[in-house]
Amino acid sequence: MNTWLSRKPIPAADRLIVALDVPEAEAAKALVCQLGESVRFYKIGLELFMAGGYFELLEWLVKGGKQVFVDLKFFDVPETVRSAVRALAGSGATFATVHGNQAIMEAAARDKGDLKILAVTVLTSLDRGDLDDLGFACEVDKLVLSRARRALETGVDGIVSSGLEAPMIRQELGEKLLVVTPGIRPVENKPADDQKRTVDVAQAFRNGADYIVVGRPIRQAPDPGAAARAVQQTIAEVFS
């Protein structure tokens, strides 16, 4: 059952990344305070970036002893991406995402310093029908594996991948890349959910994830703190 369980020396409590997908920085801070010591790692993305106070929030999180995943999916000409990563490298962030071809990933890896760069493979909101619409005449798993191989060649630290493709990545590439898995759903998806390729917490790790990203199942829970602690308990049991 645990064939692909991560062997990287990551504390179990650090393997949960909570997505702060809220409208403004003060709401993000309120949620962080509500979750307290149950969460050590947070993702801040485009919604907060556009709301203002993004880098002040990043600094606040780092000063509070939290790890931060900057999920802005840098995608531009390689030199611009390299400059953006270089500027972010001194912020105290732990992870940042890039989304692009081999030259973009190589540029991101060039001046990253201690910042770990994650290459996005295929968004978990996409399925085969969506890939057809985008002009990719291949199955999702083939595209994910191709992008993972390219990521490894470029010197980035890891990838963002659905838990459904994680076993294939581990089989092909072993432990060479970090695998961060979003689209975590502890229960069956609701019809309005935009995530299509999902797994639950235990399955994600048994499939080879090093970290999971959880948003709505914690943020929208009646008691977010209890929901986060339940996820942490599951993670602790998987890695015990």
**Which domain CATH number covers 166?**
3.20.20.70
Residue at 206 is within a domain: yes
Residue at 6 is within a domain: no
Give burial (CB, 10 Å; 0-12/13-18/19+) of 140. Answer: buried
Residue at 1 is within a domain: no
Q: Do 58 and 41 form a contact (C-beta atoms < 8 A)?
A: no
pLDDT of residue 145: 81
Per residue in 213-223, pLDDT tens?
A: 999 999 999 99
pLDDT band at 163 (very low <50, low <70, confident <90, very high): confident
Residue at 188 is within a domain: yes
Averaged confidence pLDDT in the chain:
88
Residue at 233 is within a domain: yes
Per residue in 9-32, pLDDT tens?
A: 999 999 999 999 999 999 999 999
**45, pLDDT greater than 50:** yes
Residue at 35 is within a domain: yes
pLDDT (mean) for 179-203 = 69
Domain count, the chain: 1
**33, pLDDT greater than 90:** yes
Domain range enclosing 114: 12-238
**89, pLDDT greater than 60:** yes
Residue at 92 is within a domain: yes
User: Hey, which residues are catalytic here?
Assistant: 73
Residue at 7 is within a domain: no
Please state, in angstroms and rounded to a whole number, the distance separating the CA atoms of residues 52 and 62.
18
Per residue in 126-144, pLDDT tens?
A: 454 544 454 554 566 677 7
* Spatial CB neighbours of 154, under 8 Å, sequence gap ≥ 6: 102, 105, 106, 108, 109, 119
